[in-house]
Amino acid sequence: MILNPLDGRYKNAVSELALLIGEDALILLRIKTECLYLLALADEGVVKLSRAQRNKILSFADGLPGAAQMVKQIETEGFKGVKATRHDVKAVEYYLRFLFAENGLKSYTPWLHFALTSEDVNSLCYALMIRDSLEKVLIPALEDLDDELRRMSREYAGTVLLARTHGQAAVPTTFGKEFKVFEYRLSRQLKQLKKQQISFKFSGAVGNYSAHTAAFGEVDWRAFSKKFAADFNKGRKSKIFLWEAATQIDPHDSYAELFDNLRRVNMILIDFAQDIWRYISSGLIKQNAVKGEVGSSTMPQKVNPIDFEQAEGNLGLANALFNFFGGKLTVSRLQRDLSDSTVLRNIGSAFGYSLTAYKSLKKGLGKIKPDGESALAELRAHPEVISEAVQTLLRVFGREDAYEQRKNFTRGKKVSAEDMDNFIRSLDLTEPQKKKLLALKAETYIGFAEKIARKVNL
């Protein structure tokens, strides 16, 4: 039975993400964390391990076949005389105990999960999952989308379009420049997203390293934890970092910063999807009819902008979660309550809805093309939009009433190109001045639009 569309309808779109931030990924990272922590204890001199023992533990850290399933069984059903733990992290510890006992490492089982609270393990694992999801899936998907927007902004840099402000006909622009507006916005947020760092805590029950120092007071456990964090950053672009003043849990401020960054990305893309939808609705952008697709169960002629509609809906779902995460995860009663645990398990859903939308937008962009002829025809039907240029030049010519004259002539009226020319000819101006005004054409009145579309980049 499928409850969530991410596991059904959108499964193929998010399959790669599920491997990085799904339940199995969390379990395998817990195993890896416990193993690498034990090796770090050995590096610190707390535990002594031979090279062969180290290599064996490293092989466990990589995740043996069936490991996640075995941990789930220990948690929910029990295994080999151990009753069901009903605790996910303790199940990982027991799994490793069995593994150590079967591989000549039974004497080291007391050092598994040494001085840690389950939140230490979970906090690091979530930081790693989020980092992997960003670096390997979400950021590349956004880069693909950004590249496509940049390509289209250049391709349609000079394709004129009637702009609309307040829904009303305004001065001309170009499709390419309007694509560039969104590419520029997305590029800026993407640049910030690549700099986001994810925090974790690793300091024991209430964040004071109390058990650590009781056992080995001579060890600088804060320095130990910082080095442990640094080892996870080797060769990686996105970084995790140790939150040094914590309660039992990481305060998730870095999560909130990340989620707000993604929320801004998604709002920009919602804005974009709605604009493209309107251009399609007005016939200014054409869609390619994909063979075999059905646009309507009753109207066979329809080619619906479903990619942009689906993207808008999924972006909205993701943002609802991101907004909730930012408010919920940064608040915890005293040193900790457990309500954050359930919420953290849904980060993958927010990422999944976002990824589905990014892919929908990329697919949609591959099926559309601005209709230059229709756009030009609409522009020519509104010759009054060059009134801005006319009144500006009249100011240059010394007319103090330039704005008022154009307003009285054009505001709220249907004006033809001939009406515009007759108005200009009636003005008390020199012939060269009239000639300059008469030369104004809506289709060429685009300022730096083409240059902005082709050359402006962050």
Q: Which residue has the higher pLDDT, 6 or 370?
A: 370
Amino acid 426: pLDDT: 86
Domain boundary among 113, 136, 163: 113
> Do residues 341 and 253 make contact, with C-beta atoms less than 8 angstroms apart?
no
Among the listed residues 238, 264, 84, the one whose alpha carbon sits nearest the alpha carbon of residue 272: 264
SS3 13: helix
Q: Which of 24-38, 157-171, 391-405 has the lowest mean pLDDT?
A: 391-405
Question: Could you tell me if residue 411 is inside a domain?
Answer: yes
158 and 220 together in one domain: yes
Number of domains in the chain: 3
25 and 52 together in one domain: yes
Question: Could you tell me if residue 4 is inside a domain?
Answer: no
211 and 303 together in one domain: yes
Q: What is the pLDDT of residues 405-440, one digit of tens each?
A: 766 776 776 778 888 888 889 888 899 999 999 999
Domain boundary among 91, 113, 135: 113
Both ends of the chain: CA-CA distance in Å? Answer: 47
**Does the pLDDT at position 351 exceed 70?**
yes
Question: Could you tell me if residue 340 is inside a domain?
Answer: yes
Amino acid 230: pLDDT: 93
225 and 101 together in one domain: no
- CATH number for the domain spanning 150: value is 1.20.200.10
Question: What is d(CA 203, CA 243) in angstroms, rounded to the nearest whole number?
Answer: 9
Q: Which residue has the higher pLDDT, 172 or 408?
A: 172
Per DSSP bridges, beta strands 239-242 and 285-287 are unpaired
Among the listed residues 121, 169, 167, the one whose alpha carbon sits nearest the alpha carbon of residue 341: 121
Question: What is d(CA 317, CA 340) in angstroms, rounded to the nearest whole number?
Answer: 19
- CATH number for the domain spanning 387: value is 1.10.40.30
Give the active site residues: 166, 296
Amino acid 242: pLDDT: 96
Mean pLDDT of 11-16: 91
> Do residues 176 and 453 make contact, with C-beta atoms less than 8 angstroms apart?
yes
Question: Could you tell me if residue 9 is inside a domain?
Answer: no
3-state secondary structure 336-398: CCCHHHHHHCCHHHHHHHHHHHHHHHHHHHCCEEECHHHHHHHHHCCHHHHHHHHHHHHHHCC
Mean pLDDT of 83-104: 95
**Does the pLDDT at position 386 exceed 50?**
yes
SS3 270: helix
**Does the pLDDT at position 303 exceed 80?**
no
Q: What are 215's two structure tokens? A: 């056992």
Listed in sequence order, the residues at least 6 apart from 378 whose beta carbon sits closer than 8 Å to its beta carbon are 162, 282, 284
**Does the pLDDT at position 203 exceed 90?**
yes
SS3 439: coil
Per DSSP bridges, beta strands 285-287 and 368-370 are antiparallel
- 200 has which bridge partners? 242
Angle at which helix 23-44 crosses helix 51-61, to 10 degrees, equals: 160
368 and 392 together in one domain: no
Residue 302: band (very low, low, confident or very high) from pLDDT cuts 50, 70, 90? very low
- Domain with 338 in it: 119-375
256 and 198 together in one domain: yes
422 and 408 together in one domain: yes
134 and 216 together in one domain: yes
Question: Could you tell me if residue 11 is inside a domain?
Answer: no
C-alpha distances (whole Å) from 14 to each of 9, 141, 356, 404 are 10, 11, 7, 58
Which residues in 172-187 are b (16+ Cβ under 10 Å) and which e? bbbbbbbbbbbbbbbb
Question: Could you tell me if residue 10 is inside a domain?
Answer: no
Q: What is the pLDDT of residues 136-154, one digit of tens each?
A: 999 999 999 999 999 999 9
H or E element, residue 162: strand 160-165
Q: What is the pLDDT of residues 22-71, one digit of tens each?
A: 999 999 999 999 999 999 999 999 999 999 999 999 999 988 999 999 99
> Do residues 156 and 423 make contact, with C-beta atoms less than 8 angstroms apart?
no
Question: Could you tell me if residue 275 is inside a domain?
Answer: yes
Listed in sequence order, the residues at least 6 apart from 139 whose beta carbon sits closer than 8 Å to its beta carbon are 190, 193, 194
> Do residues 329 and 340 make contact, with C-beta atoms less than 8 angstroms apart?
yes
Question: Could you tell me if residue 6 is inside a domain?
Answer: no
Residue 297: band (very low, low, confident or very high) from pLDDT cuts 50, 70, 90? very low
The DSSP letter of residue 135 is I
Question: What is d(CA 246, CA 232) in angstroms, rounded to the nearest whole number?
Answer: 20
**Does the pLDDT at position 299 exceed 50?**
no
298 and 434 together in one domain: no
- CATH number for the domain spanning 107: value is 1.10.275.10
405 and 356 together in one domain: no
109 and 130 together in one domain: no
Q: What is the pLDDT of residues 218-249, one digit of tens each?
A: 999 999 999 999 999 999 999 999 999 999 99
Question: What is d(CA 362, CA 308) in angstroms, rounded to the nearest whole number?
Answer: 9
Domain boundary among 331, 358, 375: 375
30 and 96 together in one domain: yes
